[in-house]
Amino acid sequence: MKETSFFDEESKFLFKEIPISNLSKIKLSFSLDFDIGQSYVTSKIVDRDNITRKMNIQAGQKGIKLQKDLCRLKSTDKVSLPSHVYIKTMLKDSQILIRKLPVIGTSEWLLIFEEDLFVLAVKGLYDEIELLG
């Protein structure tokens, strides 16, 4: 059996925490095609209803703002939002990167604030993301 390769110790630790899919309020998986800005990367996301949404990843204090329509949130009330989400991606060298980000609200775009996800996107080292929360 092949051993799973992780990007870092944080990813290895978080791998055990990721909730089973049927226990998650939010389950998203999508392919990305990044446009690189000066301090951020963006990508258009086509949802299951064939509506184009936007995502932005930038460095900064770790957190995520969920897009209400993309995540199918029934309310913007903090009570209905999960406290955090897990972001998982497979890098092109087959290493797994996982981050646990606090949900800091909702936005018109899906906004992700995380240094490694930003740097690796700029370098073109992944093209898919999975969100579970």
Residue 80: pLDDT band by 50, 70, 90 thresholds?
A: confident
Whether residue 77 has pLDDT greater than 60: no
Looking at residue 41, its pLDDT comes to: 96
Alpha-carbon span 78 to 118, nearest angstrom = 26
Looking at residue 28, its pLDDT comes to: 85
pTM of the predicted model, to two decimals?
A: 0.88
Residue 40: pLDDT band by 50, 70, 90 thresholds?
A: very high
Q: Residue 130: phi, psi to the nearest 5?
A: -125, 135
Whether residue 103 has pLDDT greater than 90: yes
* Residues found in the chain: 133
Name the token pair of 73. Answer: 């949130």
- Annotate the chain with three-state secondary structure: CCCCCECCHHHHHHHCCCCCHHHCCCEEEEECCEEECCCEEEEEEECCCCCEEEEEEECCCCEEEEEHHHHCCCCCCHHHCCCEEEEEEECCCCCEEEEEEEEEEEECCEEEECHHHHHHHHCCCCCEEEEEC
Name the token pair of 57. Answer: 């990843």
Residue 27: pLDDT band by 50, 70, 90 thresholds?
A: confident
Mean of the pLDDT values across residues 115-123?
95
Mean of the pLDDT values across residues 10-16?
94
Looking at residue 75, its pLDDT comes to: 54
